[in-house]
Structure 1
Amino acid sequence: MPELDFPQAIGLVAFSIGATAFLHKDGHKFRLHLTLFQIFLCSHFILMGAVTAAIGCGISALRSYVSTRTQSSHVMWFFIGLLWLMGLPNVEHSYEILTIFGASVATWALFKAQGIHMRLLILFNSFCWLTNNLLLGSIGGIMMEATFIMVNILTTYKMYRTSKQLSA
């Protein structure tokens, strides 16, 4: 079991911020909350020496914020390209590629998807990051992604149920 040290404590702070992000049904508030969470998570990964994950989180924080301002395909592809250009050369373990792939899918979701479709793509991203965090030994990261998965599934279900009630 990983030791609870300063980097792990920062991961737990990130967890506490991120745990409520998926409760937002409003896409704009959701994206802003993700930005703050990803800044703290980036710090956690830097302190853990997980360079690829830190790069992915740093780019994702900027991407989440920018996606509140524009839905431009050019901007979206810029961020996806940046993830691969900066992340791939820093991959030390094969599982780290999951973070780049998951963040790329999440980028597409934040720029091109809405509602339940966006949530399902973000859910896929969470499974990619959960795998990375399990193999890295990030306590906060594991708790965070497991929570994200559960809360996202619950919120997505509520959104689905509401949409069915409105169409009935």
Structure 2
Amino acid sequence: MINSSLIQEAGSVAFIQGVGIIAFVIGATAFLHQDDRKFRLHLMLFQIILCSHFILMGAMTAAFGCGISALRSYVSTKTDSSTMMWLFITLLWLTGAPSAHHAYELLTLFGASVATWGLFKAQGIQLKLMILFNSFCWLTHNLLLGSIGATLMEMTFIGMNLFSIARMLRARKSLEAERS
């Protein structure tokens, strides 16, 4: 006889991983934006869905980081205020650090802090490089957590971000060549 609790558990795991895959699909195109405002808004939508995935996985440090990052991404489209930047960095650490059960969870807070700095204070290639650093922090976390969708997502983010940076560098080089 088939154990119905195993079926329910398998369904729950599939649903939870499915939410992570949905976040992956939505987030995969964020780095194609060269317009920084559109990039920030796309990140916000992705982070809301990813927050749900981490809540379902019981990874509350990551969930706090994503929830705060979603709000941060939106606010950064409206202001470059240092006060707001530090408020979000402080919120990340005050909400995330106490819920960390493993040292690797702190990588999410460190990466999100660097990304927050970038979203408020950087533009163009510099912004993308700071987000790239954040992606490597999250990739390590997601591998250790065992999140399939979030791991695929960060690997894709790294690739898409590198592609976007290369495109921006080529455009800059082309513009400089035209000016010469």
Q: Give 1:85's aligned residue.
A: 94
Q: Give 2:113's aligned residue.
A: 104
Q: Give 1:118's aligned residue.
A: 127
Query: Counterparts of 1:137-148 in structure 2 under 5 Å?
Result: 137-148=146-157
Is there any run of 5+ residues in structure 1 with no aligned partner, and where?
A: none
Q: Give 2:15's aligned residue.
A: 6
Cα deviation, residue 103, structure 1: 0.2
Residues 15-57 of structure 1 deviation map (CA, whole Å, 9 limit, x = unaligned): 0100000000000000000000000000000000000000000
Is there any run of 5+ residues in structure 2 with no aligned partner, and where?
A: 1-9
Q: SS state of the match for residue 43, structure 1?
A: helix
User: Are positions 1:66 and 2:66 aligned together?
Assistant: no
Q: Give 2:32's aligned residue.
A: 23
Q: Give 2:52's aligned residue.
A: 43
Q: Give 1:158's aligned residue.
A: 167
Q: TM-score w.r.t. structure 1 length? A: 0.97
Distance 1:132 1:41 in 2: 14
- Which among 125, 128, 131 is matched to residue 137 of structure 2? 128
Pairwise CA RMSD:
0.8
Distance 2:15 2:64 in 1: 20
Distance 2:16 2:71 in 1: 22
Q: TM-score w.r.t. structure 2 length? A: 0.91
Larger Rg, first or second structure (1 or 2): 2
Cα deviation, residue 153, structure 1: 0.2
* 2:90 partner amino acid: G
Cα deviation, residue 165, structure 1: 0.8
* 1:52 partner amino acid: T
Identity %: 68
Segments ≥4 residues shifted beyond 3 Å? none
Distance 2:173 2:120 in 1: 25
Q: SS state of the match for residue 5, structure 1?
A: helix
Cα deviation, residue 5, structure 1: 1.3
**How many residues align structurally?**
166
